[in-house]
Structure 1
Amino acid sequence: MNASNRIPQISELKGVGPSAVDVLKQLGVESIEDLFSYFPYRYDNYEIQDLENAGDSDHLTVRGKIQSEPVLSFYAKRRSRLSVRVLSGRNLVTVIAFNRPYLKKKLNLGDEVTVTGKWERARAEITATEFHIGAPDFSEQIAPVYPVKDGMTVRRMRSIVRQVFNQFQDSIVETLPPTLIEEYRLMGRKEAIREIHFPTGRDALKQARRRLVYEEFLIYELKMQCYKQVKRKSGGGTRINIQTDSIRSFIRTLPFPLTRAQERVVKEILADLGSPFAMNRLLQGDVGSGKTIVAAIALYAAVTAGFQGALMAPTEILAEQHADSLQKLFEPFSVSVALLTGNVRGKERRPLLEELKKGHIDILVGTHALIQDDVLFKQLGLVVTDEQHRFGVGQRRLLRVKGKDPDVLYMTATPIPRTLAITVFGDMDVSTIDELPGGRKTIRTYWVRHEMMGRVIRFMEKELRQGRQAYVVCPLIEESEQLDVQNALDMHAELTRSLPDYRIGLMHGKLTNDEKSEVMNGFKEQKIHVLVSTTVVEVGVNVPNATLMIINDADRFGLSQLHQLRGRVGRGNDQSYCILVADARSETSRERMKLMTETTDGFRLSSFDLQLRGPGDFFGKKQSGVPAFKLADMIHDYRTLAAARDDASRLVLNPHFWKDESFAQLRRPLIDSGILEHTFLD
């Protein structure tokens, strides 16, 4: 490209001063392409709509007549709130306008007004962003709203985007080959970028978004698929010689037969272990689906082939439980299992590490204590990380480098739709246990208001009289001035008074590890009848005699967390119960409580949770590496995500993709990312 055809940077544009350039840079916009890809996060819809057809929380425009005198009130340093009743069609609604006190003198009964704002159906209320007397002529029926800051207004951003598009639209390059555009009947890229910024109608906007979402997903999935192929071709990995007869003998000794889902997952994992490439697999399954047994089989396969195994858990309680269950399973097979946590110190720790280094310990179970520098294995072949999302990426890596390209199995009891799991954990293969062991009784779940707590305690006493135990979970350790919710200290005191014949234990995050172990062991040994706790019991605690889980202020927890807590009961032969205590004042809270009582399907619950909270909040962005898409939404666009992943996996294996000029623009991000040199990702 010669100098006259060079596309300038934003800083070189006429009419865009230094202060605007600085703000744009803070927003991640430095080039013309950055600006084209700086998408609106919503649109002001100035098309007049009928409220009968409007959805809750829609941002819309309606026309109507004033039916009441406006009421003006002031609060917090001259801030104001004006409310007025407006009849729009057959709907009488309240319109709220903040910080527009001048409207009170301008609005009269019978005036026709046009209001744009957020509609809340439950309250029959519109919070106005724009308020016009009469019928204004909007220049744009659907106007983009951009994220802005520091003096950059939405109106100014619209103007800059329009100026740049009009001047440089011919520089927009098509990224997709004609074959994919035709297959999915997609808009061209230039047309899609024009429509996403300057919509000519709702249908055109929908098609523009569909095109750009597919492109964004496809480029991401190409990177993921390419990374897996490059990693595989680069060698590494340990081929574990699978001792099929020994593994079958071990499986026959298990207390329960494997479910078909467990058998399928075991087959996938053993195939990975027996390959020359390093396994990088996520094992996901609902609470009680039998993931630990699958991990035990994988560890046994590694040990019988002459390798060592490591299992890292997020808490000492869970690590101790894993070590105890593995010791019992492996005792007839002379497999040595050791436990390493922060509590193992000094004289006890040194000989353990020496035995590990010599290869005399087959399986080491522990917390993040496993990743310390002085923990050395003789020949680490398999690493299992339980509840992997609770560890940072760096912590998981430190355990993996304890061996020479060991196989890695991550486990999670936070079930998510398979397509989403493959994207969030993009460089992993995903195995899903989607079947629970037979014979288990469904946990009966009930939702009650706070005023029914007396009846709940009487029901608890009935369970205790039959020799069973109960958990009572509270969102806080102690009383808070900011939050009016139940705390563990007060609940412990109340239950101690109400149930004098029973011992009430208390567990929370401020206890030392020794104190936590003492309380938990007391509960396991039935010396403690009721365990009052914060959410430290959420993961992995296994007390089959506990049949009752009471969760206070349940509407404060996410659905997946409630499901995890519920999974602490239902582990024995007796009927178990989960009681959600919550006033649940909002419509969303009521819907969540109702859903908990209707289903014990963790996949259904987590899908609903994801829709409410979004993937970033759900997984924790630091831990999971959830990709920050500009336009795409992994939850709502999951069908497009699935199509993009299938296309990407097909393309990277096709020699045509790497040579044909029509794919050149899709190859460019792969080259720029460094993925082909194996520098992309961890």
Structure 2
Amino acid sequence: MEKPVPMDRLVCGDVGYGKTEIAMRAAFKAVMGGKQVAFLAPTTILAEQHYETCMERFKTFPVKIAHLSRFVAPAEQKKILKKAAEGQIDILVGTHRIIQKDVEFKNLGLMIIDEEQRFGVKDKEKLKVLKNNIDSLAMSATPIPRTLHMSLLKIRDMSLLTTPPQSRQPIETVIDAYSDERVAAAIRKEVERGGQVFYLHNRVESLAETRIKLERLLPEMMIDTAHGQMTSEELDDIFRRFKMGGFHVLVATTIIENGIDIPNVNTIIIDRADMYGVSQLYQLRGRVGRSDRKAYAYLLYPGNKSLSDIAMKRLQVISDFTELGSGFKIAMKDMEIRGAGNLLGKDQSGNVYSVGFDMYVRLLNDAVNRLTAQEDYQSQAEVLMELEYTGFIPDSYVQNPQTKMEIYKKIAGVQNAEELDSVYTEMTDRFGPVPEEVSSLLSLAQIRIICRKLNIASIKEHNGIAAIEFAKVSDISVNKVLRLIAESAGAVKLNPSKPNMIFLNTGKIRLKEKSEFIREKLEKII
């Protein structure tokens, strides 16, 4: 019996869309099947939150759950490691600590990786060893370019969560130069409607200084700070007080990026937003707007400094995609900005645009097919077409330049007759009957399809003669070619000095009928 292939699935969904719910159900299914589960989270706060969620969800079931992170005492860690190795723990929730060498499982069956984009290359190499023969479920709102690209190429499976929670509203995003007045107005506006505010300042050294500055600006507000160098007890106390409404503004580092869920916080102010990546900005913005109230995100940059092109692009992407469920689109844009990275190497992003993304995907598919196919595999060569007529999409038919480019791209990517019919139907549905210029363009695509079937390397037309060169003569039926020459009344000829070519006389044929003439002749030798 053939051994089943382990699952390797990426679940892509926005914050609050139900990724954790899927993880819980997958974990339960694995435990009921007699397997152990490793639940990996990037931060101690998020790991602790997942641990509490698991304890709550599985309290009525005989499921043993443990938690590993730097906040767990060393003596307790030893006990947990011993139990995991003996199979006495069903679900082990933790940070990077659970992928260290001293962590062993008796019968690990499922690895759940939350916020997959937060793990570095070295961690991913360790995970590869762990994940070799077990099922893997990765979750992310904005996967890194390499992960997203592997999913798009079907090297990894991917599921999209696109249905927002009920009453969820899009977050209003403001990008502006920093000013004390802007910050004070934003905080007062939120507090006046009974809400609270996250103020993100990602420098531990100057966090206290930022708090003092805000207290001078807003003497009536109660303000506190949080950062990753605090103990678990200190952080627990701060977040509990903040959740209970004990103070108005929390000045924090990116420790709040993952796992903080406080519905009453509906404004986030990000100081030096130009210093963050697209994915990180999106995650931080997702800390607000987790209830049915309108939320605001202020991405502020220094007014006295010029931003780099990359920083401008990142901020532009975040401001462009504010509607619900934009995580996947943002990840796609991130891949455009940074490139798709190496599939087998360490780089998580890279410069795909040196060859163009479409060409890169085509080259990759060709390489994969060549390695996995039989010995007689033949790569699909691109047909070189130089004809004395062309087709285009006139402005009178499609006005929007972007839409026009999309249609050109679709026509250029057509691989068979079904895809061509689909493009034709879509165009007539959207824009009405196709004009003559567009018909010519579609005819060229049709000729290209026939050329691929016949393994034709090129068609070059010059002075009324179209020279057709075959890449492999043995693929062509000689009898069909001879019959075509006999029936064509001199319109089709051979040249003894060029046995891999036939010549079509197109001189007297009008442009409108030329594609039909070439297509008709080529179809007779298929």
Q: Provide the TM-score with structure 1 as the length reference.
A: 0.48
Aligned counterparts, 1:78-93, within 5 A:
none
Instruction: Give the match for residue 319 of structure 2.
Output: 597
Structure 1 segment 229-628 matched on structure 2, within 5 A? 276-396=4-124, 398=126, 405-415=133-143, 421-422=149-150, 428-451=156-179, 453-478=180-205, 487-582=206-301, 583=303, 585-586=306-307, 588=309, 592-600=314-322, 601-615=326-340, 625-626=347-348
Say if 1:651 and 1:627 are closer, same or farther in 2 by CA, change over 3 A: farther
Aligned equivalents of 1:404 and 1:627: distance in 2? 23
Helix, strand or coil for the counterpart of 1:493?
A: helix
Shift of 1:615: 4.7
Which string of whole-angstrom CA distances, capped at 9 and with x for unpartnered residues, describes residues 218-251 of structure 1?
xxxxxxxxxxxxxx98x5xxxxxxxxxxxxxxxx
CA contact (8 A) 1:312 1:370 kept: yes
Alpha-carbon distance in 2 for matches of 1:613, 1:397? 21
1:89-108 matched pairs, under 5 angstroms: none
1:539, CA displacement in angstroms?
2.5
Amino acid at match of 1:580: L
Partner in structure 1 of residue 362 of structure 2? 643
Q: For the structure 1 residues 622 and 477, does the alpha-carbon distance in structure 2 shift closer, same or farther, using more than 3 Å as the test?
A: farther
What CA deviation, in whole Å up to 9, does each residue of 1:480-501 have, x standing for no partner?
xxxxxxx533221122334445
CA distance in 2, matches of 1:404, 1:418: 19
Displacement of 1:592 in angstroms is 4.9
Cα distance change, pair 341–550 in 1 and its aligned pair in 2 (3 A): same
SS at match of 2:260: coil
Shift of 1:369: 1.7
Compute the displacement of 1:295 (Å): 1.5
**Is residue 116–residue 139 contact of structure 2 (8 Å, CA) maintained in 1?**
yes
Among all aligned residue pairs of Structure 1 and Structure 2, give the percentage whose two residues are the same amino acid. 36
How far does the alpha carbon of each residue in 1:10-41 deviate from its partner, in whole angstroms, 9 at most, with x for none? xxxxxxxxxxxxxxxxxxxxxxxxxxxxxxxx
Specify the SS of the correspondent of 2:261.
coil
1:635 shift after superposition? 8.7
The code of the aligned residue for 1:492 comes to R
- CA deviation map 1:632-680 (0-9, x unaligned): 715972222343455455555543xx245889xxxxxxxxxxxxxxxxx
Pair 331,615 (structure 1): closer, same or farther in 2 beyond 3 Å: same
1:67-216 to structure 2, matched below 5 A, reads none
What runs of 5+ residues in structure 1 fail to find an aligned partner?
A: 1-231, 236-275, 479-486, 664-682
Structure 1 residue 552 displacement after superposition:
1.4
Q: Matches of 1:475 and 1:490 in 2, distance apart?
A: 12
Query: How much has 1:454 moved relative to structure 2?
Result: 2.2
| SS of equivalent residue, structure 1 residue 384 | strand
> Which amino acid letter does the alignment assign opposite residue 367 of structure 1?
T
Give 1:355 shift: 3.6
Counterpart residue type for residue 555 of structure 1:
D
Q: Distance in 1 between matches of 2:296 and 2:10?
A: 30
Q: CA deviation at 1:404?
A: 8.4
- In 1, the alpha carbon distance for the partners of 2:49 and 2:221 equals 25
Deviation at 1:568, TM superposition (A): 0.7
Please name the residue that 2:406 is paired with. Answer: none
Corresponding position of 1:21: none
After TM superposition, give the deviation of residue 313 of structure 1 in Å: 1.1
* C-alpha separation in 1, matches of 2:155 and 2:313: 35
Q: Distance in 2 between matches of 1:634 and 1:547?
A: 38
User: How far has the Cα of 1:545 moved from its partner?
Assistant: 1.9
In structure 2, do the counterparts of structure 1 residues 490 and 371 end up closer, same or farther at CA, with 3 Å as the change threshold? same
Letter paired with 2:186: F
Distance 1:525 1:361 in 2: 33
Q: 1:508 to 1:325 in 2, by over 3 A?
A: same
CA distance in 2 between counterparts of 1:624 and 1:433 reads 28
Structure 1 residues 427 and 461: CA distance shift in structure 2, 3 A: same
Residue 562 of structure 1: CA displacement? 1.5
Residue identity in the other structure for 2:318: M
Distance 1:341 1:591, change over 3 A: closer
- Larger mean CA deviation between 604-613 and 460-469 belongs to 604-613
In structure 2, how many angstroms separate the alpha carbons of the residues matched to 1:462 and 1:505? Answer: 19
Cα distance, 1:358–1:459 mapped onto 2, change above 3 Å: same
Question: CA RMSD, aligned part only?
Answer: 3.7
Structure 2 vs 1, CA of residues 624 and 470 (structure 1 numbering), >3 Å: closer, same or farther? Answer: farther
Q: Which amino acid aligns with 1:605?
A: I
Ranges in structure 2 where 5+ consecutive residues have no aligned partner? 381-526
Q: 2:522 matched to which residue of 1?
A: none
Check the 8 A contact 2:145/2:338 in 1, yes or no: no
Matches for 1:53-68 after TM superposition, within 5 Å: none
Q: Deviations over 1:311-357 (max 9, x none)?
A: 11111011011112222222344433221112212443344334434
Report if the CA contact (8 A) 1:343-1:513 is conserved.
yes
Letter in 2 for 1:457: A
Shift of 1:471: 0.5
Moved more, 457-466 or 587-596: 587-596
